[in-house]
A and B are shown apart, each in its own frame.
Chain A
């Protein structure tokens, strides 16, 4: 992919700013929860919501990685939601912003998504 011209993968969006450009793509998160002994939904139990965090696996001081407007880093987990609703499909947008000053090449990283019951 490139800032000017070129083809975009299906589902990806590109926006070009004055000093950088951003590629973004939507995704959904759905967390469901049920007690498998009682078959009761978790909303009736003691963990009615969940926390979801995201964290980059490798440091990247040049590009900006975001999910749902939350900037990710590799030193701590960024909270995407602290009271996620079980069963609800939540739409997030992943966005990678690349400055024009960056040389062409491969940008590689991983995002770790962590879910923990509240």
Chain B
């Protein structure tokens, strides 16, 4: 997985490109923890992508299943695909949801934060142009963790761009989520169905709020059945990560309208062993 961050426009000559990549089991699970990360990069070596300056981080998302008191280690690799030598300072921040948005709080700012228990092998790292640098973070889950996610960040210290540009530094963070109690509870809002006759499409919107204590990644399907119970459409609903307290809207779109009549839409989402469902009626006139 790869993320590129590009700042550009004529106002100043800063062009920053950052590529964020994830890899599958970059390092084997340590100390008995069940750790999952996103699939590995295959083509993120410097210069392999477009010829834009870029920095890359692998992995980008790591899901950890653990118990309080356990520790694990994870390698993080940053590629410097720019022409500059880049200096980074390693930093962990707690990721919590406030007013519906994720915020990145410095380690130690919240009680029960996990970030303060993240120890990096190297505090400062330097990535040479066209090269990569790897460091290891070891995280110990505290006894009563309040947060369920941290970001382990390569905090940029080198100004990217030219002398005449706005001084900006680029940073990339790997998201670590922690499942500690298998407490997967999701509250659903009513399923919204919007029929757009002009666009000849139906949009389904389902809001979910994570009311449990562990992160969830619900994904599933929406099934549309007619009055006779026959399946009319089956739409996949992509997964989205919900941290505790977080709300997201899941959408699916069906192109084309079925014939006139009443229909029943059922959304069925799953997260590990937990299932969430909701339903709504709608009609095509």
Contact = CB atoms under 8 A, between A and B. Distances in A.
Given A46-B241, A111-B166, A33 B2 contact: yes
Contacts of B273: none
B155 interface: yes
A53 to B, nearest CB: 6
Contacts of A38: 39
Interface residues of B, number: 58
B112 interface: no
B12 A37 contact: no
B55 to A, nearest CB: 10
Given A51-B102, A114-B173, A117-B61, A33 B10 contact: no
A18 interface: no
B167 A111 contact: yes
A114 to B, nearest CB: 4
Interface stretch (B15-23, B123-131, B221-229): B15-23
Contact of A50 (B3, B95, B217): B3
B167 A115 contact: no
B79 to A, nearest CB: 12
Interface in B163-182: 164, 166-175
Interface of B: 1-12, 14, 16, 18, 20-22, 24, 38-44, 60-61, 93, 95, 101-106, 151, 153, 155-156, 159, 164, 166-175, 217, 219, 238-241
Given A33-B4, A113-B16, 8 more contacts: A25-B9, A26-B11, A30-B4, A47-B241, A57-B169, A112-B156, A116-B174, A117-B22
What 6 A-B pairs come out closest when comparing CB atoms? A11-B11, A25-B11, A37-B39, A116-B173, A36-B41, A30-B6
19 contacts: A9-B12, A10-B10, A10-B11, A25-B166, A27-B14, A29-B7, A31-B5, A34-B2, A36-B2, A37-B24, A47-B38, A47-B61, A49-B240, A52-B5, A79-B103, A109-B167, A110-B167, A111-B166, A113-B170
Interface of A: 9-12, 25-38, 42-53, 57, 76-77, 79, 82, 86, 89, 91, 94, 108-118
